[in-house]
Structure 1
Amino acid sequence: MKGIIFTEFLDIVESRFGLDVCQQMLDDAGVDGIYTTVGSYDHRILVKMIVCLSKITDISSEALQEVYGEALFVRLLSTMPMMDNWELPTGTFSFIEQVERHIHIEVKKLYPNANPPQFDFISKTSAQMILDYISARCFSHVCLGLIRGCVHHFNENMDIEMEPVSQDQSHVRFTLTLNVG
């Protein structure tokens, strides 16, 4: 997993919970917390930190992942260069399509060993999108937070349903329904 995910997580933990909680989380997880944005790290370290943070804050790990995903969207968006072949997204649906069609492809070009999650688009109308999230890392709640961050960015009113397809949540179906009016 790319280091930017780790560095942003630590920044978000520190800003939301303070330096003392961040340090306690690192100590409890048995990690030093030294990550670079371009490095590659085992995703299980992030899982371990989230579990430790959950114990410290008494907030479920799923809720923490969602909050993290929502904050991460804003941070990743601000660092993302616009690509020549990219249509400017006009809303959540078009943005999510661009992630799979362009951003993940560019990530794989830059980092050949990268294994970003996959989105399989099941159906789409002007008011509803159904897509499957597939990732061996099982961060579906981070994905839910990222989607919420995207919805907020585009100032849309949307219902988001998340239904596990596999028990370990490595495959989850999202149904996004735009509320118009």
Structure 2
Amino acid sequence: MSNKVIHAFYNDDDILMDAVKKVKSANHHIEEVFCPFPVHGLDKALGLAPTRLAITAFMYGVTGLGVAIWMTNYMMIQDWPQDIGGKPNFSWWLNMPAFVPIMFELTVFFAAHLMVITFYMRSRIWPFKKAENPDPRTTDDHFLMEIPVHNNEEELTSLLKETGAVEINVVEKH
């Protein structure tokens, strides 16, 4: 079995979106689309499942809030209680309004930092990893649609020409 793929280049995101819809409606599988910037609606046009990263962000925020509550209770109430401005030092609940900025900051801190780590792990972007884009133009001003070839090279090429591709290459994928 051959590992041939067709690389179809586009220079406009609207033309790319129309092309993705036409290729999908012709029952061809699109392996990947490389873009220099996010294209709104491309995930739905490709039929990708919605992301669950928002759920993890919420869980990371709740974890940060829990750490903030534990930390302020331990530091300010149990370990080293101090009378600051006449505030009672025996109850976390009575002092809670003074701890709101700490709780907010740690909630945001945990959510932001753990989301960056999760995004990199989920995207498999490791330090010093070699770029996987097949053409450097996809980081500047071109969009690339990668479609596997299954003995239908002529049909795919003519379909992609109809969709407005500015360049079509058949390459061996390694």
Q: Under a length normalisation based on structure 2, what TM-score does the superposition of the two structures give? A: 0.23
Q: Under a length normalisation based on structure 1, what TM-score does the superposition of the two structures give? A: 0.22
Structure having the higher Rg: 2
